[in-house]
Structure 1
Amino acid sequence: MNLETIDNVYFIGIGGIGMSALARYFKANNKRVAGYDKTPSDVTRALEALGIDVHFDDSIANIPNAFLNYDTTLVVYTPAIPKDNMELVHYKNSRGFSLLKRSEVLGLVTKNTFCLAVAGTHGKTTTSSILAHLLYECNVPLTGFLGGISENYNSNYISKGTEVSVVEADEFDRSFLTLSPDIACITSMDADHLDIYGEAEALQESFLDFSKRIKDGGTLFVKSGLPIEGITYGIEDDSDYTALNIKIENGGYVFDVKTPSAVINDVKFNLPGRHNLSNALIALAMALEYGCQSPELVKALASYAGVKRRFTYQIKTDDLVFIDDYAHHPEEIKAAHQAVREMYPGKKVLAVFQPHLFSRTRDFIDDFAKSLAQFDEVLLMDIYPARELPIEGVTSAWLFEKIENENKALVSKSDLISKIKASDADVIITLGAGDIGAEVKHIKTALYGN
């Protein structure tokens, strides 16, 4: 498909974080953009502020007339949209319309750019946002499509040109197999999305397939220990790129980076957690591989402010710390726990967790229980279904019984704040990929007053 011949782009599921970044891209490139989503959000309100027409009732009558012309309209949809969505069904049954998944459009948009892609079951959003920030600060003419809202730019879309692209290579629905990157990394390959893949081996095979998508002469970085060949990176090990002499200063890290040809001293990075340190290391390595100079990169990394809902401080006082994090997989919960313990040794930590998807809860029930049991206190919310229907027997009550921690409680949204306020924890962390994010501002107000 030639995107140059398209005048109108219609998004079904426009409020999705990946979809909205593409909507911003087409709007910035003078296309007429509109779309549907199930509910209003900060993301959709930001799109509307740009002049993008967004509606929230699944109805063909709400589609603007210009987007009913198949000659000039591209329809973009996300696999998270139900197959019986009336607008999606209408476009599929109407001859002549071009319907593409978000990942396919991202592949087309980045095809003629120098593409840097970040793959992995964890760490994609933070790593890609760090990488985009580094390149931006080094005056690289890039477009960044991020899976979260960058604190530095207050957006999931970063634009300084079109010659270079930075993207998340998403393994969900094998979406990353539409990309052909010049430089790529794989941060992790833990089992996930088993509702799509069936078993962990199939997921690993898809990452191997992704590694073969890299352009001739391109470069693949892999986290040390992963079963795929590439340039390795790791923390305090013998990888090709490694972080050494790590110190904690003012809630962040100061460390040295050993590359295959040099040592970069006194690198500063302000996000807590060894997982974030690993993300910073690989972003730095990819930017060096692209051609950025280390003094510029060190300065840029020190100014990186993070991604919203990725270990984001909501309250940070001597008496109380409140952190919000997107963690929705046992390994991500373990990483958040490590970060909290490293930064706040000896403090009592309360974790508030909302499980995401019935299938993920079922597939990793024992691992979820173990990762949550590490906290001093646990509040467990109902499962957020997202795109799924309930699975018999898969409930938060089932997970609750498996958590070996006497200081735990099942909570509903209505009594969430009262339960949090009743705790004597020094550090509170909310965890989950569902609508728990919408509760954060209410929790903060209840605890802090503004």
Structure 2
Amino acid sequence: MVKLNDIQKIYFIGIGGIGMSALARYFKSRGAEVSGYDKTVTPLTKELERQGIDIHYEERVDSIPHDVDAVVYTPAIPAAHAELVYYRDNGYTVVKRSDVLQWITEGSFNICVGGTHGKTTVTSMIAHLLRHSGYGCNAFLGGIAANYNTNFWSSDRNVVVVEADEYDRSFLKLVPDIAVVTAIDPDHLDIYGTAQEVENAFVQFAGKVKPGGCLVTKKGLSREVDLQASHNYRYSYNDSTADVKAVNLTVENGSYRFDVSGPGWIISSIELNMGGLHNIENVVAAITVAKHLNINDDAIRAAVAAFKGVRRRFEYALKNDTYTVIDDYAHHPEELRALISGVRSIFTKQQLTLVFQPHLFSRTNDLADGFAESLDMADEVILLPIYPARELPMPGVTSELLLNKMKLTNKQVLEKEAMLEYIKTKRPSLVVMAGAGDIDALVQQVKTILEP
């Protein structure tokens, strides 16, 4: 097996992925020679290139380096990918992203955040709290932290904050000192098969917390009794029976102000300048971790107030007196429900136009009823065609499947250009754009249409 310290040259297949790019930045920070492939040019790949990482965008064996110590690939890459096949057939060390995270975290104090939704925001909040307070940490995030415009940073402190991805059971390779579980709703049923197997995996994840370690879980999870560690905290947005919760909530100019009450302590006057009631709950989880680490209350308060959010997590693309455009990564029914509820909590009188791009044929098919129920919470819904990502089409599974299950009257399926033309003609005052595919590439165009 290759030792982490021996890696001088490393190649990434799918380097533009949010998790892969964090690892690429990690090795670049260590002085390694980093290069990679991705199928499309994105703002993230352009940023990696600006940092001195060589990337090509055609699947060609004659474009790849041959003197690398390790090759890392993402599960989104097809098994028949020519570059992946070449490296495997020629005896290179070829590993998944999760294997590399396992190598990195073998000798560190690890704070691992898992959950079928919410984990990126909670991971980013915890990492920000530790960095802003001066505690220090190395961070591997599943999104771009707006404060620092990156998904990775390093620190001299041997503490790692890492997003623990349940896809492909990757998170079971991590060994947390502190674990957070935000949700265990059904997802990735193409991998797990049943909702019960998803839950079982999270029970396994919780069971990997080191002896004497800490487990922070959302209050009311279906397998709560099975989620146990040496130190347990159940958190909630407003459940009075939770160990840690928000109290005395007020909304002022789009920001939330509240106190956080924990076992034997209370932090008053927390200010969160990020929309969405679910983000109050997310920051309660992050504060729980910070308190367990004995971070000073004033430092926690200051860090939360300074938190600018995560790119594509309730991110304001446009906000003025006439128009608001919110961009969000939501791609699961519960995420959509939380997103729409959060928007409603701030914009109480405006009609909500939701533009949603379903992500994956399998997820759309497996969770169709839940998607329809959540989408019905909007005033108007525009569905884009399904973004396939790693999947081939499934017979009968299109965005019309969701449309036909919805009870809402004001709904339609539009191609991208038709959607932009509709926004140009109707000029809705409150637009929420959601999805994990390439819908983010349309946000700037919608903003440009609506900006005065």
What is the TM-score normalised by the length of structure 2?
0.96
Cα distance in 1 between the residues matched to 2:255 and 2:207: 36
Letter in 1 for 2:187: D
Is the 2:427–2:450 contact (alpha carbons within 8 Å) kept by the matching residues of 1? no
Cα distance in 1 between the residues matched to 2:215 and 2:56: 41
The alpha-carbon deviation at position 345 of structure 1 amounts to: 0.6
Task: Quote the residue 2:81 is aligned against.
Answer: 85
Is the 2:277–2:345 contact (alpha carbons within 8 Å) kept by the matching residues of 1? no
Consecutive unaligned residues of structure 1, counting only runs of 5 or more, are: 68-72
SS in structure 1 at match of 2:445:
helix
Task: Quote the residue 1:199 is aligned against.
Answer: 194
Alignment of 1:315-326 (within 5 A): 315-326=318-329
Residue from 117, 125, 131 that aligns with 1:130:
125
SS in structure 2 at match of 1:301:
helix
Structure 1 residues 194 and 8: alpha-carbon distance in aligned structure 2, compared to 1, 3 A threshold: same
Letter in 1 for 2:143: G
Structure 1 residues 339 and 375: alpha-carbon distance in aligned structure 2, compared to 1, 3 A threshold: same
Is the 1:113–1:162 contact (alpha carbons within 8 Å) kept by the matching residues of 2? no
Is the 1:135–1:287 contact (alpha carbons within 8 Å) kept by the matching residues of 2? yes
Alignment of 1:299-338 (within 5 A): 299-338=302-341
State yes or no: 1:350 paired with 2:345. Answer: no
State yes or no: 1:388 paired with 2:391. Answer: yes
Is the 2:233–2:243 contact (alpha carbons within 8 Å) kept by the matching residues of 1? yes
Task: Quote the residue 1:372 is aligned against.
Answer: 375
Is the 2:112–2:178 contact (alpha carbons within 8 Å) kept by the matching residues of 1? yes
Letter in 2 for 1:5: D
Q: How many equivalent pairs are there? A: 443
Cα distance in 2 between the residues matched to 1:277 and 1:376: 24
The alpha-carbon deviation at position 115 of structure 1 amounts to: 0.8
Cα distance in 1 between the residues matched to 2:432 and 2:156: 38
Letter in 2 for 1:109: I
Cα distance in 1 between the residues matched to 2:427 and 2:35: 47
State yes or no: 1:418 paired with 2:421. Answer: yes
The alpha-carbon deviation at position 188 of structure 1 amounts to: 0.6
Task: Quote the residue 1:257 is aligned against.
Answer: 260
Is the 1:132–1:158 contact (alpha carbons within 8 Å) kept by the matching residues of 2? no
Cα distance in 2 between the residues matched to 1:207 and 1:234: 18
State yes or no: 1:115 paired with 2:118. Answer: no
Letter in 2 for 1:137: H
Task: Quote the residue 2:19 is aligned against.
Answer: 18
Letter in 2 for 1:298: R
Is the 2:184–2:199 contact (alpha carbons within 8 Å) kept by the matching residues of 1? yes
Cα distance in 1 between the residues matched to 2:99 and 2:293: 25
Letter in 2 for 1:282: A
CA RMSD of aligned residues (A): 1.1
What do the CA deviations read for 1:49-105 (whole angstroms, capped 9, x no partner)?
1111101111111013433xxxxx11111111000000100111112x211110110
Identical residues among aligned pairs (%): 46
What do the CA deviations read for 1:208-243 (whole angstroms, capped 9, x no partner)?
000111111110011101222332111222211111
Cα distance in 1 between the residues matched to 2:136 and 2:288: 18
Cα distance in 1 between the residues matched to 2:260 and 2:364: 38
Is the 1:151–1:305 contact (alpha carbons within 8 Å) kept by the matching residues of 2? yes
Letter in 2 for 1:30: G
Cα distance in 2 between the residues matched to 1:274 and 1:312: 14
Residue from 79, 90, 94 that aligns with 2:90:
94
State yes or no: 1:298 paired with 2:301. Answer: yes
SS in structure 1 at match of 2:152:
strand
Task: Quote the residue 1:287 is aligned against.
Answer: 290
Residue from 206, 231, 234 that aligns with 1:232:
234
Letter in 2 for 1:80: A
Cα distance in 1 between the residues matched to 2:409 and 2:381: 9
Task: Quote the residue 1:70 is aligned against.
Answer: none
Cα distance in 1 between the residues matched to 2:255 and 2:34: 41
Task: Quote the residue 1:45 is aligned against.
Answer: 46
Consecutive unaligned residues of structure 2, counting only runs of 5 or more, are: none
State yes or no: 1:149 paired with 2:150. Answer: no
Is the 2:237–2:278 contact (alpha carbons within 8 Å) kept by the matching residues of 1? no
